[in-house]
Structure formats: structure tokens, C-alpha cells
């Protein structure tokens, strides 16, 4: 079956209208108390490759519901005035789509352009989950 829009086209369209943050720029801002980094990867990805210290884990499948204050699934971490939210996935595709959707909802956010896949290569800190 031929699609009218491919996933790559959707990502490109999202990237054209959202704020993208480079790894080096985000690393330089890690001490900013108004920054909230949101990891939308699956829990197995976080367990396998680690995560950005102090990042919030919000699985991609629930993010719209966790952000929406009228949802029964709303999470208070997404209702902090003055905070700047930067979302990331593994390679930047899921987070681009996520941030475009959140902007459509009226929730301002940015995303980590290359995702977690090159984070450590840029010198970004990585925390591994406790295996105990």
C-alpha cells in the first residue's frame, strides 16, 4: 500500500516548524534550574544505553496525556511555570514529532536534534540505571 506521507516526510515537516537544540548547546545548559529534559524513549532503551542525568522519563505513547492538565493521566512535572522543556528520543525522529504535536496543543517545547544517539559523543553525561 502506498502512503500519502512517509514517516521521514512527517519528521521533516515537524523539524521545519519546531525549535531544535544541538547537543553541545544542551550540555552547556545542564545546570539551568529552569531546564527540564524529557526522555521519550522506551524504558528498555533507557536501561540498555543509559539516560541524561535528572531527565524525566515520559514514554512517547503517553506524552500528550501527561502534558494535558485536563487529562486523568496528567503529570505535575509538565505544569511548572517558567520551565523550558527539551524532549529527546534516540535519533531525533520521535522527539520531532512529539514536539510538533505538543506545540499544536499549545505546549511550548524544543527537541534535541540528534537525540540520545550522539549525546555521549559530544561529551554529554550518561547515567546508567541501577541494576540491583
Place of cell 547515567: 127
Query: CATH no. for residue 28?
Result: 3.40.250.10
Sign, CA torsion 62/66/69/70? positive
Q: At what angle do helices 7-15 and 93-105 cross, to 10 degrees?
A: 60
pTM > 0.85: yes
What pLDDT score does 36 carry? 98
Q: How many domains does the chain have?
A: 1
What CA–CA distance (Å, rounded) separates 57 from 114? 18
Residue 83, in any domain of the structure: yes
Using alpha carbons only, how large is the chain's radius of gyration in Å? Answer: 15
What pLDDT score does 1 carry? 86
Q: What is the mean pLDDT of residues 12-26?
A: 97
In terms of residues, how long is the chain?
132
Nearest alpha-carbon partner for 129 in 23, 36, 38, 49: 49
For 90-123, write each residue's pLDDT tens digit: 999 999 999 999 999 999 999 999 999 999 999 9
For 23-63, write each residue's pLDDT tens digit: 999 999 999 999 999 999 999 999 999 999 999 999 999 99
What pLDDT score does 132 carry? 64
CB neighbours (10 Å) of residue 67? 24
Residue 1, in any domain of the structure: no
What pLDDT score does 131 carry? 73
Q: Structural domain of residue 69, as residue ranges?
A: 18-122
Residue 69, in any domain of the structure: yes
What pLDDT score does 34 carry? 98
Mean pLDDT computed over every residue of the chain? 96
Amino acid at each position: 500500500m502506498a502512503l500519502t506521507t512517509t514517516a521521514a516526510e512527517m519528521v521533516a515537516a515537524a523539524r521545519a516548524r519546531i525549535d531544535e537544540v544541538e547537543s553541545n548547546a544542551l550540555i552547556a545548559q545542564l545546570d539551568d534550574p529552569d531546564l527540564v529534559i524529557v526522555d521519550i524513549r522506551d524504558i528498555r532503551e533507557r536501561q540498555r544505553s543509559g539516560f541524561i542525568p535528572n531527565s524525566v522519563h515520559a514514554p512517547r505513547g503517553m506524552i500528550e496525556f501527561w502534558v494535558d492538565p485536563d487529562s486523568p493521566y496528567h503529570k505535575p512535572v509538565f505544569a511548572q511555570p517558567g520551565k523550558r522543556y527539551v524532549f529527546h528520543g534516540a535519533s531525533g525522529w520521535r522527539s520531532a514529532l512529539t514536539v510538533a504535536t505538543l506545540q499544536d496543543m499549545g505546549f511550548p517545547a524544543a527537541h534535541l536534534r540528534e537525540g540520545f544517539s550522539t549525546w555521549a559523543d559530544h561529551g554529554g553525561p550518561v547515567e546508567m540505571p541501577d541494576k540491583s
